[in-house]
Amino acid sequence: MPLPLFALFIAAFAFGTTEFVIAGVLPQVAEGLDVSVPTAGYLVSGYALGIAVGGPLLTLLTPGLSRKTLLIGLAVAFTIGQAACAMAPDFASMLFLRVAVAVAHGTFFGVAMVVAVSLVREEQRGMAVALILSGLTVSNVIGVPVGTAIGNLWGWRATFWVMCIIGVASIAAMVALLPSKAGPARRPAGFAKEVRVLGRQQVWTSLILMLMLMIGQFGPFTYIAPLLQEVTGLDESWVPFVLLANGLGATIGVFLGGRLADWKLMPALISMLALQSAMLAVIYAVSPYPLAMIAAVVVWGGLNFAIGTPIQTRILTWTADASNLASSLIPAGFNVGIALAASLGAAVLGAGYGYRILPLIGASAMVVATAVALVSYAIERRDNDAPPLPAPAE
């Protein structure tokens, strides 16, 4: 893989860590800003909203910028944002800063995906996407635990100062490694075409698959701690280790998904969607048995990210001629899906069902995803569709 991809990986790791580490230091942040923990929770939902809404809007406003310039600018905004968060005097300013960084986050991942696939041969697109996605999985495996530990030792503001240092490293890496013509500004496709390409069935069906995947993943994962404790019977002290194992499985899965996307994208995707539906049914069945449950959670985590890679590769492939809006909808779609999954889980639990039912709801979502993918692929083969050529450079 080209070295520039590793510069994008560092920035992806930084953005992923700052998104998720807030959960590990939320009580300290709440105390430091003199608000309740539930109120501090808006720092999480506000970040998701910034990605989902602000990311696509900023992407549409910057079509004429060189991609390298835009990516470095977003990393600069990230770095300044982390320093500002470390010095935030009150909750309102902290919330504003988190949302601002989230806008940069949503834009970064959309642009970085487009640049990544432009740096490699067509048969390496899946692995290029996987490498950027691995920044998120590695941030959960390494960044979040380390950031939480730093917050516990030296206070939550120290966590954000460390994030600022990582931001500086990402800026230096992109300045040094991204070639000036890697993802240069292409002739603007125009807003009408950016919207029109979303009507391609390969694109909108992939967005449906993304939403179903998030229900299958975050429906149970949002409530994984009480599920493991109350249903599986694990002690609270074991939960972080299970989550670490899940994260390791996800890191392996993201590269496996990249390989499969480069091999046979749709057959591999359909097979993994069906397998994930079965895997969630297995989690339901073995949830009372600790060892079997831990093993199932690891495999489930690997499949979640293995599936995400070909879905994103497919969207990028079928919007190559007008990719700005579509690429920004990838991180936006994931965050909308996460919010939808968490809300659906809360509604189910509020209706009186137990935690054990959540994997079955996820399995149902994956059955829907498998059916949608099968129909989409059948239509594509029937019509003998071919992906569009990239937009011409200026």
Residue 54 reports pLDDT greater than 80: yes
- Per-residue confidence (pLDDT) for residue 391, from 0 to 100: 61
- Residue 120 pLDDT: 85
pLDDT at 392: 56
**Predicted confidence (pLDDT) per residue in 218-243, tens digit:** 888 878 878 998 999 988 778 878 88
- Cα dihedral value 80, 86, 91, 93, nearest 10: -20
Average pLDDT, the chain: 88
Query: What is the average pLDDT across 38-64?
Result: 85
pLDDT tens digit sequence for 343-371: 888 888 888 898 999 999 999 999 999 99
**pLDDT tier for residue 102 given thresholds of 50, 70 and 90:** very high
Q: Give the tens place of pLDDT for each residue, 132-153.
A: 888 888 887 888 888 888 988 9
Question: What CA–CA distance (Å, rounded) separates 137 from 250?
Answer: 6
pLDDT at 317 over 60: yes
Rounded to whole angstroms, how far apart are CA atoms 157 and 199? 45
Q: What is the mean pLDDT of the segment spanning 114-136?
A: 86
> What pLDDT is stored for residue 184 in this prediction?
42
Predicted local distance difference test score (pLDDT) of residue 182:
60
CA atoms of 227 and 139, how far apart (whole Å): 24
The answer to whether residue 372 scores a pLDDT higher than 90 is: yes
Global pTM reads 0.80
- What integer pLDDT is reported at residue 104 of this predicted model? 95
Distance CA 57, CA 132 (A): 22
